[in-house]
Amino acid sequence: MSDPLLDIRNLTIEYPTPAGRFVAVDDVSFDIGAGERFGLVGESGSGKSTTILALMRMLRGGVVSKGQMLLNGRDLAQVPDASYRRLRFAEMSLVSQGAMSSLNPVLRIGRQINDIFEDHGVIHPPKDRVSIIEDLLQRVGLPAAVRHRFPHELSGGMKQRVCIAMSIALKPSVILADEPTSALDVMVQKQVLATLGRVQKELGAAVILIGHDMALMAHFVSKLGVMYRGKLVEMGPVKEVFANPQHDYTKMLINSLPTFERRTRAAAADRRSS
Ligand SMILES: Nc1ncnc2c1ncn2[C@@H]1O[C@H](COP(=O)(O)OP(=O)(O)OP(=O)(O)O)[C@@H](O)[C@H]1O
């Protein structure tokens, strides 16, 4: 069998607190293959965001105290900070909860997309620059003219689509999506997630999708991990986790879905796994 694309081994992350060290991620291991969709669910504070912020080397205050993160067999701990800047977007990109936090309010969208290319030394011939940006916007379902807009002129769903466009600009092999639709209306959530799924497939990128919503996970991912108090307490093909949940927290998450939805989602998980 080929090596996994991303291999997380015994990852442990601690935050220093006035009361001592707080273990937010406790001995977590999982791997994902190229193009795979992995979902990470768990209650608030269970360590999901901390896990992917560590992957991006964007932890605020936290330290990786144990374990390894391997991307294509390369130990990410050995990558110097300067190279990590290049790795972000180019190899791994993050779509976070609030598009507002990642978009610059005073720059037009086109300029912000162009900056990603420039920051990474990707220089397109001037005659192609506009069409490359417009093409990216259209791939995520936005009109090309959005490149002229400022973030505040766009709806929440449009802003999140812009973030998805930015996340795929440099064709990374992994997209980390931290509750990318949680701030949106239910209908918009579905459309934006469908867009993420479509571009991820076109690109052949793997995705780690973080969330609380089992229904949404059953629809989107093929493999599911459940975090509880910093530990990965359950992991497997989404169909198996739904059919035979082992941990009480997983059972609770599944039982909290309405019966009709439970059946529909189990069927959706079935289709995804087969
Ligand atoms: N900068 C920090 N300093 C101290 N503790 C932190 C810090 N960031 C997160 N934590 C703690 O680490 C734990 C894990 O937080 P994390 O944000 O990873 O959880 P989560 O599962 O992503 O939650 P949510 O679903 O609410 O986003 C929580 O107890 C949180 O309070």
The domain spanning residue 204 has which CATH number? Answer: 3.40.50.300
What is the pLDDT, as a whole number, of residue 2? 67
Which residue has a Cα nearest atom 3 of ligand 1?
A: 15
Start-to-end CA distance of the chain, whole Å, equals: 20
127 lines ligand 1 (CB under 6 A): no
- Nearest atom of ligand 1 to the alpha carbon of 25: 14
Residue 77 pLDDT > 70, yes or no? yes
Total domains, the chain: 1
Average pLDDT over the chain, rounded to an integer: 92
Name the strands in the sheet holding 6-17, side by side, starting at the edge strand that comes first in the sequence: 20-32, 6-17, 63-71, 74-75
16 lines ligand 1 (CB under 6 A): no
Give the whole-angstrom CA distance, residue 199 versus residue 20.
Answer: 43
Domain annotation covers residue 225? yes
Tokens matching residue 5: 């694309």
Domain annotation covers residue 117? no
Exposure letters 105-118 (e unless 16+ CB within 10 A, then b): eeebbbebbbebbe
Give the β-pairing of 92-95 and 6-17: unpaired
CA 82 to mean position of chain CA atoms: 23
Domain annotation covers residue 155? no
> Mean pLDDT across the stretch 142-156?
96
Residue 65 pLDDT > 60, yes or no? yes
Q: Which of 193, 233, 235, 236 is nearest to 213 (CA)?
A: 193
> Mean pLDDT across the stretch 117-139?
93
Give the whole-angstrom CA distance, residue 247 versus residue 208.
Answer: 21
Domain annotation covers residue 87? yes
Instruction: List all residues 6 or more positions away from 235 whose beta carbon is below 8 Å from its beta carbon.
Output: 30, 223, 224, 225, 226, 241
Give the whole-angstrom CA distance, residue 41 versus residue 254.
Answer: 11
What is the pLDDT, as a whole number, of residue 165? 96
Predicted-complex ipTM score = 0.91
What is the pLDDT, as a whole number, of residue 154? 95
54 lines ligand 1 (CB under 6 A): no
- Residue 178 alpha carbon to ligand 1 centre in Å: 13
Which residue has a Cα nearest atom 19 of ligand 1?
A: 45
Q: Over the stretch 172-219, which tens digit does the pLDDT of each residue have?
A: 999 999 999 888 888 888 899 999 999 999 999 999 999 988 888 998
> Mean pLDDT across the stretch 129-139?
96
Residue 1 pLDDT > 60, yes or no? no
Which residue has a Cα nearest atom 20 of ligand 1?
A: 45
CA dihedral over 193, 197, 202, 203, signed as positive or negative = positive
Comparing 36-40, 197-201, 261-265, which segment has the lowest mean pLDDT?
A: 261-265
Where in the sequence is the domain holding 236, given as residue range(s)?
6-100+173-273
- Nearest atom of ligand 1 to the alpha carbon of 17: 4
Give the whole-angstrom CA distance, residue 252 versus residue 263.
Answer: 15
Greatest Cα pair distance, the chain, in angstroms, is: 58
Domain annotation covers residue 209? yes
Residue 99 pLDDT > 80, yes or no? no
- Residue 25 alpha carbon to ligand 1 centre in Å: 9
The structure's pTM equals: 0.91
Domain annotation covers residue 17? yes
Domain annotation covers residue 202? yes
Pocket perturbation via mutation, ligand 1, pick of 13, 21, 23, 48 by most ligand atoms within 8 A of CB = 48
87 and 95 Cβ atoms separated by less than 8 Å: no
